[in-house]
Amino acid sequence: MKVSQIMVEPVTIDKDQRLSYALEQLEKRAAERLVVVENGDVKGILTYADIADRLGVSKVVALSIKRLHVSSAMTDTVITVGPDDEVTDVAQLMIERGMSGCPVVDNENKLVGVITKVQISELVRKFKDIKVEDLMTTGEILQVNPVSRLVKARGDMLAAGYSGMPVTDGGRVLGLITERMVAEAMARFTVEVPDKHRANQVRQIRVVDAMLQQPPLVTPDESIAVAAARMLDAKLNTLPVVGKGNRLVGIISATDFTRFVANKYKVPEASE
């Protein structure tokens, strides 16, 4: 399958636009990322993670998101792919480089689309015979308590390379926190809290102030088709996997689905 068969229309933005406008566009267009362009050329990428990173910097938090520009938060190192590239190869590239998506450019370097883990996850909807337990992450599962500080939770996600994690209390799933939720909560904070109080109060934001309560859940014996549908329909990138009493036993994410596609739609061996 070629990238051109599943890529979507890119949402673009100028590097000099306000960061608050960029966040509005991400929400309004239900996009995972904005492609930053200048005179038609790709200059960078802006994601919820980039916005969360920028707003979480201590020297910046005193500024309102309305005073920051896209250029101050975007990632300017951009890896592009072509419309005729194989989806499995692009999925492997995303896994190897830790990317959540890529702009798609033609032979003349013109932007023609974008492909993300969302589009790749859509391909998993048809795999009804493979169970969640075959792909899910278990063991030392990254999780957070609802009263934990949001800044620390964001740091833990960043260190682990995760874009979402379950919110638990005593092992029972209460919610979910993602990069998007962190970015939106930080943006609200910079607007609602007076300038002189921001630097001192930013660390008092709690996970419960940003998390999605009662998120969709899956069980280990449900199919990855069900998990993918549930995740995509809720516009999430991670789902908690639960056992009896909603006890957390694992997580499954768009990254797990992308790894499955990169492995040519086969369940990775334990040694891989």
Rounded distance between C-alpha atoms, residue 214 and residue 36, angstroms:
34
pTM for the full predicted model: 0.88
164 in Cβ contact with 177 (< 8 Å): yes
> What residues does CATH 3.10.580.10 cover in the chain?
3-125, 126-262
The pLDDT tens digits of the residues spanning 225-256 come to 999 999 999 999 999 999 998 999 999 999 99
Both tokens assigned to 4: 């051109």
Considering the domain 3-125 in this protein, what is its CATH number? 3.10.580.10
Q: What is the per-residue pLDDT for 41?
A: 85
Q: Count CA within 13 A, CB hemisphere, residue 253.
A: 21
The fold of the 126-262 domain, in CATH, is CBS-domain (3.10.580)
Contacting residues for 172 by C-beta, under 8 A, at least 6 apart = 245, 246, 247, 248
The pLDDT tens digits of the residues spanning 196-220 come to 555 556 667 899 999 999 999 999 9
44-63 in b/e form (b: 16+ CB < 10 A) is: bbbbbbbbbbbbbeeebbbb
Higher pLDDT, 271 or 35: 35
